[in-house]
Amino acid sequence: MNKSTSGHIYGCICDLNGVLRGKRIGIDQLEKIQSGQVRMAQSLTSMDIWGNDIEDSPLVYEHGDGDGVCIFTGRGPLPLSWLGEDVYLAPLWMQTEDGDPFPGDVRYALASVVDKFAELGLTPVVATELEFYLYDLHSSELSPPLSPHTNKRTTFDTPLALDELEDQRDFLNDVYAACKDMDISADAAIAEAGAGQFEVNLMHVADPLKAADDTIFFKKLVRGIAQKHGMGATFMAKPYGNRPGNGFHVHFSLIDADGRNVFDDGTDAGSDIMRHAVAGLIDTMQENTLIFAAHENSYRRMLPGCHAPTVVSWAYENRTSAIRIPGGPAVARRIEHRVAGADANPYLVLTAILGGALIGIQDKLQAPDPVTGDVGELDLPSLPTNWGAGIDAFEQGTLNKILFPPLMRDLFIGCKRQEHHRFRSEVTALEQQTYLSTI
């Protein structure tokens, strides 16, 4: 890090919605950040999407909106190059005054699952894939950006089009450079199905906390670099009604103390422990859908025919399924979980996925038979079809009580019910246009 005293650092924590919240602190106070002298209100971990306190939150009224102690995660400070020199991000997580993990901090929920795998002598190896749209900041309506080289706008969907990758080469070059600066191992990039839509894969790491951190920081740097290039970037699950949504796919395997992939039994079918993990994911999928689809807009991506999972299913080498076992060499056998949208909180998503797999492994659950063909044509259990149903399924769930601390679980339910109520209270322009003068 530059030794200049003129710059600043953003010390931040991550809230339930995956929003980074924190303070701007002078570079000369870095030691204050690293030694745990930064304090922030515990309620910051559970704001709704508009930054409002959750009504009746015990953190605000019952406990007097007290502070938590913000501890340096040990990573960074990370340069925010698109904001200029000497601007950094310092990731923090929250403890209580007694030095215990604060149960409302999403990073601790994931850390707890990782610790349980360690007790079994296993380490999850995780990779994430994120889709996002670039859009024109200066257009009066949501539109793909103008090409910086041809000044023309892409108006049709062009899956894996090299021309679109070439048009946005300056943006992508800066994204990869920023990833390198922030120690994020970015792999392949593609132009996805929608106009202005891209996907970047992050490489496998044997550290789920780093994988979640990388995903959060990647989203921040993509938005920042897009603005630097005069564009907007969104990880909204379904920004366009008539174009593909943005997914957040998670690949994972498990290695033992000798570094051996325990999903690999030398066959294409994978090991018994892999199928136990799949069974745990199947059994937790419906009640955890709210984790994977946390917002009103999330459920627009999950409509039939929108190329996102709508039913509980698993399959070998089948992208219509919620859980896919990719092909390839047996040594690389892994599980791909395809339910989450790009708008989901990575810490909660990885907690739900790895935690569900852990339940399956510990209880030796048996997976149903894998499906074949178009999953949408089969009679299978449905995922919650709307936000309200997703909230109800999470609240009524039993297995997710094992994965999430009671306080975090209650705060997440309260947050989502509060947001859902506001959306239900708003009358949309489409409703007014349709009904105002016709009925």
In the chain the domains, ranked by start, together with CATH numbers, are 8-104 (3.10.20.70), 113-404 (3.30.590.10)
Q: Write down the pLDDT at residue 3.
A: 54
Q: Is cis: bond before 244, omega within 30 of 0?
A: no
Which amino acid does the sequence have at 66? G
Of 281, 273, 125, the closest CA to residue 203 belongs to 125
The whole-number pLDDT of residue 164 equals 78
User: What is the per-residue pLDDT for 369?
Assistant: 92
Residue 152's pLDDT is 78
**pLDDT at residue 156, as a whole number:** 67
Distance CA(348)–CA(408), nearest Å, equals 10
- Pick out the chain residues at pLDDT < 70: 1-5, 61-64, 156, 159-161, 306
Number of other CB atoms surrounding residue 266 within 10 Å:
10
Place of tokens 């204050």: 32
pLDDT per residue as tens digits for the range 248-278: 999 999 999 999 999 999 999 999 999 999 9
Q: Tell me the C-alpha distance between 314 and 282, whole Å.
A: 8
Reading the block at residue 124, the tokens are: 């999850």
- Burial grade of 379 (CB within 10 A; 0-12, 13-18, 19 or more): exposed
CA–CA separation, 317 vs 88, rounded Å?
Answer: 41
pLDDT tens figures, 22-34: 999 998 888 888 8
